[in-house]
Amino acid sequence: MAAAILLRRVPAARAQATALIAARSISDSTAPLTIETSVPFTSHIVDPPSRDVTTTPAELLTFFRDMSVMRRMEIAADSLYKAKLIRGFCHLYDGQEAVAVGMEAAITRSDSIITAYRDHCTYLARGGDLVSAFAELMGRQAGCSRGKGGSMHFYKKDANFYGGHGIVGAQVPLGCGLAFAQKYRKEETATFALYGDGAANQGQLFEALNISALWKLPAILVCENNHYGMGTAEWRAAKSPAYYKRGDYVPGLKVDGMDVLAVKQACKFAKEHAIANGPIVLEMDTYRYHGHSMSDPGSTYRTRDEISGVRQERDPIERVRKLILAHDLATAAELKDMEKEIRKEVDDAIAKAKESPMPDTAELFTNVYVKGFGVESFGADRKELRATLP
């Protein structure tokens, strides 16, 4: 799409630009646009941010492309799993792409993100590439965790993406620890610790939030509320499913997690608040199209009409498509061409990932202990083995 040429007059009332944009790549346009979020923010003991979000044609087209890449990646992962090229647990993110993309648009790579096991798209948002994503899913050496983490343990340290965690809710205290390090080092950055509505009742979450509030750590707890913890509806698992209020003494904000611009605005607001005042809770009202994991058909505890209804009315990619068309930033045919390019890009990445070998069996013994420490033998016969720690 970067090569597509725009030669049309952009209406001033829509794009706030009256100049003729000629012979210029669509993605290079930086004319400001102000767009209102789909629904108002709902807040808890804090004044909500403005619904008017400033963006640009280039950003909207980037949002469309990034979310489309994520969607295509997850659909391809479904096929690879069914072909038994991906084994073990696999939790797909299709439907929730606006959370990963909008969050990334509001922060920098100096900020930290830590999440649970539905982590493929967050990895891409942090700058990860398709080849290393598919290689990791298939357990290959070229994977982002060297083929040893699999679907639930993506990782990208150079972008401050700390996984990828399989234990429900366990990443939240770790995220608060990252926030502690940021404050200790006076970095003026923040940590976004993501968890699902199924993890929202975990005791460790409240313990971590309490200490974060006491120490005013720059921690943003992000509840990705897709309304089902595995196969259990939120209202059956939580007496109070208003997760943005669950911090009690900690401010909260409920966000339309299917609106990428609303997510961007909320995360920008939350980062500024957390650095200045301490933690805040964001509840992203979102939805997953697949089941909880690949072993869950996702249709026994909700109706197909519910799923198709969300697709038709709230799909994050279709919302951005409509904005692009409404503001005359690209044609429907140009967006379709972009989607065709993305399909090929994903297919090529899968083919390249398949060329990567499986990890050597010796890798079973690496990355277990800190370098220089490990198991040593003791006793007169040297047969007693003990783990040694620093």
pTM score: 0.88
* Whole-number Å distance between alpha carbons of 142 and 139: 9
* Whole-number Å distance between alpha carbons of 281 and 253: 6
Q: Among residues of the chain, what percentage have pLDDT more than 70?
A: 90
More confident residue, 214 or 373: 214
**Which superfamily is assigned to 39-359 in CATH?**
Thiamin diphosphate (ThDP)-binding fold, Pyr/PP domains (3.40.50.970)
CB 360 within 8 A of CB 66: no
Which whole number is the average pLDDT over 272-291?
98
For residue 387, name the pLDDT band (cuts at 50, 70, 90).
low
Q: What is the pLDDT of residues 134-146, one digit of tens each?
A: 999 999 999 999 9
Q: What is the pLDDT of residues 201-230, one digit of tens each?
A: 999 999 999 999 999 999 999 999 999 999
Q: Which of 26-30, 41-45, 197-201 has the lowest mean pLDDT?
A: 26-30
Q: What is the pLDDT of residues 90-111, one digit of tens each?
A: 999 999 999 999 999 999 999 9
The values of phi and psi at residue 4, to 5°, are -70, 140
More confident residue, 288 or 16: 288
Q: What is the pLDDT of residues 244-279, one digit of tens each?
A: 999 999 999 999 999 999 999 999 999 999 999 999
Q: What is the pLDDT of residues 132-183, one digit of tens each?
A: 999 999 999 999 999 999 999 999 999 999 999 999 999 999 999 999 999 9
Which whole number is the average pLDDT over 55-68?
97
Question: Is residue 9 over pLDDT 50?
Answer: no
Instruction: Give the max Cα distance, the chain.
Output: 87
User: Where do we find the tokens 């690496």?
Assistant: 366
**pLDDT value of residue 372:** 62
Is cis: bond before 278, omega within 30 of 0? no
More confident residue, 251 or 385: 251
Which whole number is the average pLDDT over 298-308?
94
What are the tokens at 58? 């280039």
Question: Is residue 354 over pLDDT 50?
Answer: yes
For the chain, residues classed under CATH 3.40.50.970 are: 39-359
**pLDDT value of residue 16:** 41
For residue 351, name the pLDDT band (cuts at 50, 70, 90).
very high
74 by Cβ neighbours in 10 Å (0-12 / 13-18 / 19+) ranks as buried
Q: Which 8-state DSSP code applies to residue 361?
A: G
* Whole-number Å distance between alpha carbons of 181 and 218: 10
**pLDDT value of residue 28:** 58
Strands 232-233, 228-229: pairing kind: antiparallel
Burial 39-51 (b: 16+ CB within 10 A, else e): eebbbbebebbee
Nearest C-alpha neighbor of 108 from the set 28, 188, 215: 188
